[in-house]
Structure 1
Amino acid sequence: MLLNRISLNALAVMVSSVMMFASPAEAQSLRDPTLPSQGYVAVSSNAVPQQTMVLNSIVNGQRAYAVINNNILSVGDTISGVGLRVTSIGQDSVTLSDGRKLQLFQSITER
């Protein structure tokens, strides 16, 4: 009977030691699925992202005005916060000093 207890205790010690060594291996196989894959490389860019500009409307009369980002501008005005100038205002588009052309969307009801 004493021999059975010793062998059971030895077996318990062996099982617990095996489980202790098996746990890290199991933990490595259970990765957080929200983490990037192992081949992930972080990319940093020094380039300044272009600010989104919305051409809200154009008013043509004796003098043309464009509403960009809810600010009323005419040719030669600078867009606040961006530092770009309005170089020309057409019937349905505005050209900026960096070469970008902002276009109005055609009305859905227009045919």
Structure 2
Amino acid sequence: MTSCFVQSESLRDPTRPGVGSVSLSTNQQGTAEKLKLNSVLISGGNATAIFNNKIYTIGDSVQGVKIVRINNQGVWLSDGRQFALYPAVTETKGQ
């Protein structure tokens, strides 16, 4: 009777990052993510805005700028920017 011993290696997952790789988010790299208004929620006396899938209320800061007003039409920031949930559509018929 002859016996044989075979040792095998496990296969590496090809979707895993290589050894020593580091994953950086956009903010860690120093570049600001584009600010996008996803939704506005108004219930009773509370108004909430969702920017880049994060929840904010009046007085909170988003990317270092304070939110000063939230209503059905949009959100206003202290630096003068206004974000509309549904941007105005201009008519181009006949042009």
**Unpaired runs of at least 5, structure 1:** 1-48, 107-111
| One-letter amino acid of the structure 2 residue matched with residue 91 of structure 1 | N
Q: Deviations over 1:19-74 (max 9, x none)?
A: xxxxxxxxxxxxxxxxxxxxxxxxxxxxxx98521000000112000001111000
Please state which structure has a larger fraction of its residues in strand. 2
2:39 is matched with 57
Q: How does 1:23-34 map to 2 (within 5 A)?
A: none
1:35 is matched with none
Alignment counterpart, residue 72 of structure 1, candidates 40, 47, 55? 55
Runs of 4 or more off by more than 3 Å in structure 1? Answer: none
CA distance in 1 between partners of 2:36 and 2:80 (Å): 15
- For the pair shown, the structure with the greater C-alpha radius of gyration is 1
CA distance in 2 between partners of 1:64 and 1:53 (Å): 19
1:23 is matched with none
1:27 is matched with none
> How much is the aligned-residue C-alpha RMSD, in angstroms?
1.9
Alignment counterpart, residue 93 of structure 1, candidates 74, 77, 81? 74
Please state which structure has a larger fraction of its residues in helix. 1
After TM superposition, the score normalised by the length of structure 2 is 0.53
| One-letter amino acid of the structure 2 residue matched with residue 99 of structure 1 | G
**Unpaired runs of at least 5, structure 2:** 1-30, 88-95
Which of the pair has the greater relative contact order for Cα pairs under 8 Å at 6+ separation? Answer: 2
